[in-house]
A and B are shown apart, each in its own frame.
Chain A
């Protein structure tokens, strides 16, 4: 991408913000530029500016671009070591409470949310927890809410489920229909999916845990600080924060307000 295109990409993000309210202006640039270019190529526009014209005048077109910009890539039991630590080091602490509130921010199409619900059930917490799963992309949330996935993802999912210390067979948590699976209703009963934007929206309730994995890597430092403040405000002292395996509170201005809970995994606890 040359200097002119970089400028066009900036203007495109400004246009999106002013027209539709989604604020990508402070996201890490390299990856978002790549996705803008990709969408331009796929949709056949001669330039990013030409694409900008279309997106201002055609909301439908914006919706498809939004999906590209938000990167709804996720997996069942992504990073099994993290789920293993969650099961063995965090759930015993949570189990002391009557009711557990979990905020899962940036849940994409929901695989990670179901993974967590499965573990909570296996550890005997069924009916005692609620997961508020949020994302800024409504299309991804629709998939998450329905809990219908291609059967193919369950292969790797099952391997990772076992590595994460799964006690049964993953197939006990869904029903298979030819090429897709439907997640069990008893899991869905504990899940609430709703739209929430980490850049522009506020905290909505106090939470025992905040899960936000592989979202902050897309944000600038300044934006990361805003989001850490949200999480700080949502958690009581001793509340847990789970980040992606390459994310850290270390560089934020709230670094001293969180301590690491276990060795390698990015599990933190709010001080106080």
Chain B
């Protein structure tokens, strides 16, 4: 496993708070996040999380190389993409699914780079961004996880993904959280083994 990507919109800040604060400081891979939010350019969500979490949480900067144990947020108003050399790119390309940043854009570029070494997680949200991206991750051999619609603050996003594709797991937020931290407790444990152990 080389990276985790997460997409969410409505209800996202709360869900991410739970998920990211459970990550240990030696989290073995980078985490890339697209959260739909108001494009005023401020970094409120990442600043708050950075204070509340032991991992480093920051807004992604163009051309920076991703590092293990660090959580990167797409800046409001910019798509976030990852390059073959594991540096980050930003773009102001057209909105995708009425969104910039778009979850599909991040997931598809991460699928191109990481292939089967990627975990993609789609959480609560009020539109259908991320569904296509999740399908690309799966096609490239990565692991796909969707939050249980009944567990999500907004079910539209998880439901849209479930209509389009069959993820490896459909889990509650606390299952996803414990799964990620278990994977981290013992780096030698394969993440795939780990999620197989969680009943869905």
Contact = CB atoms under 8 A, between A and B. Distances in A.
Contact of B62 (A1, A6, A35, A247): A247
A195 interface: no
Nearest to B111: A1
B81 A246 contact: no
A79 B41 contact: yes
B54 interface: no
Question: Which of A2, A29, A71: most chain B Cβ within 10 A?
Answer: A29
Given A31-B81, A34-B81, A34-B108, A71 B93 contact: yes
B93 A246 contact: no
Interface string B63-100: 10000000000010111011110000111111000000
Nearest to B88: A30
A30 B109 contact: yes
Interface string A235-272: 00000000011111001000000000000000000000
Interface residues of A, number: 24
Contacts of A34: 81, 93, 105, 108-109
Question: Which of B75, B81, B105, B113: most chain A Cβ within 10 A?
Answer: B81
B93 A221 contact: no
A130 B78 CA distance: 30
Question: Which of B75, B77, B83, B92: most chain A Cβ within 10 A?
Answer: B92
A246 B62 contact: yes
A218 B91 CA distance: 7
A221 B87 CA distance: 11
B63 A251 contact: yes
Interface residues of B, number: 24
Interface string B104-121: 010011001100000000
Contacts of A30: 81-83, 89, 109, 112-113
Contacts of B78: 217, 246
Contacts of A33: 112
Contact of B91 (A1, A217, A245): A217
Interface in B7-50: 41
A168 B84 CA distance: 48
A31 B89 contact: yes
B103 to A, nearest CB: 14
B105 A28 contact: no
16 contacts: A1-B112, A6-B112, A28-B89, A30-B83, A30-B113, A31-B79, A34-B81, A71-B93, A71-B94, A79-B41, A81-B41, A214-B92, A221-B63, A246-B61, A248-B61, A251-B63
5 smallest beta-carbon distances between A and B, as pairs: A30-B81, A31-B91, A30-B109, A28-B89, A1-B112
